[in-house]
Amino acid sequence: MKSIKRWTGIWLVAAVFAASMLFFPNDASACSCVRPDSIEETKNKSDAVFEGTAKSVKPSSIALFRSSAKAVKASFQVNEVWKGHVTPTIEVLTASGSDTCGFVFQEGERYLVYAAATGKSMEVSLCSGTMLHSKANEHITWLGSGSLPPQPGSDMQQQEQSSPWKLYLVIGGLAAILVGYVYYRKQKRSKSRT
């Protein structure tokens, strides 16, 4: 009877050990994310949502808002915008490594970026929903058609296009004043002669 209990105990310990190997990851990470339930929730929690190509990824001296980790600055050429005031080129900050929840960007790769505004900068993390464009089909389908970011100089072009009309109005107004003045002077001279 003792040997049966002993073997049962050994098998129980072995089963618990085997189960623990299945349910616990092999490598520990200091970063853990609670994933949002839906794409809509991910978008709603973000201040900016855009798709763009990482043009440069460099260490940054700017401090991250919610972390003491070293920061990395990724500069993007933006192709499409779904939310936020996103310029054609934008910089985002992230922690320098995935162990501190930093998203690892690669120059030349396209990304769907979900960013949070933190003061004067935009930040992303492993938990923000940011992903490679090649893995973002479901998100992009749900987001639908975005808009193009405002192009540099588009305000200036609009001003230049409206400027000729303003110039013509000013010139026409000055010409009318000049014609009126000349007419007035002629009338005054003809009355003084009579």
Taking phi over 0 as left and psi of -120 to 50 as alpha, with beta for the rest, 101 belongs to left
pTM: 0.62
Distance between CA atoms of residues 194 and 188, nearest Å: 10
Show the tokens assigned to 164.
Answer: 């000729």
Distance between CA atoms of residues 53 and 110, nearest Å: 4
For 56-83, write each residue's pLDDT tens digit: 999 888 777 666 678 899 999 999 999 9
Distance between CA atoms of residues 184 and 37, nearest Å: 79
Residues of the chain short of pLDDT 50, as ranges, are 7, 11-29, 156-157
